[in-house]
Amino acid sequence: MIALVRHGETATNRAGRLLGRADPPLTETGRTQAAELGAAVAAGTHPIAVVSSPLRRAMETAAAIAAPNGLEVEREERLIEIDYGEWDERGFDDVPVEEMRRWRADPTFAPPGGESLTAVQARVSECAADLLARAADDLVIAVSHVSPIKGAVAWALGVGPEISWRMRLDLASVTRIARGPSLLTFNEVAGASSRVV
């Protein structure tokens, strides 16, 4: 099984802005969320690995999960967030309306200088399949971001990336995928300090 964990809060998330390849640290709330995840995500089972997107917010979250489980964090480039290109750290209201409509309607659309949802799902599907094979009957924890986790869910369900717009995924949440693939849980929130964005 894979437990896909969305990282804790950053100031950019808290402000409701797009956050792709920009690399801010966790806020104090984000660090609390990560600590809560460390105590809860593996409840009742010992993970065999903790892998993470290379971005700081994910690596900090992964470290808080790995430490109580006696593991080191392994970097996994395929778990990195979508590249928003020129839109990174903009508010949704700052994206031109026509481009936002096109983005929502066409999963092959990429923000200027960025990456499409189709491209995200392709790399994350390959990663999820590899992690499931590695996990076998054990647990691998993968710390990532909103778009890659939604891409992995779409892969598990056998649907296209356009479903991403119909899913809400909170910060510091856990989504579980088992062999098959099959979706076991979606958007589990570990503690009181978890929140949407």
Residues assigned a catalytic role: 7, 81
pLDDT under 70 in the chain at which residues? 190-197
| Structural domain boundaries in the chain | 2-189
- DSSP letter at 10 equals B
Q: Is 88 helix (H, G, I), strand (E, B) or coil?
A: coil
Tokens at residue 136, please?
Answer: 């076998």
What pLDDT does 43 receive?
75
Strands 2-6, 173-178: pairing kind: antiparallel
What pLDDT does 190 receive?
63
What pLDDT does 39 receive?
81
Kindly report the pTM of this predicted structure: 0.94
What CA–CA distance (Å, rounded) separates 191 from 39? 10
What pLDDT does 196 receive?
45
- Euclidean distance between the first and final Cα of the chain, in Å? 26
- Architecture field, domain 2-189: 3-Layer(aba) Sandwich (3.40)
What pLDDT does 90 receive?
95
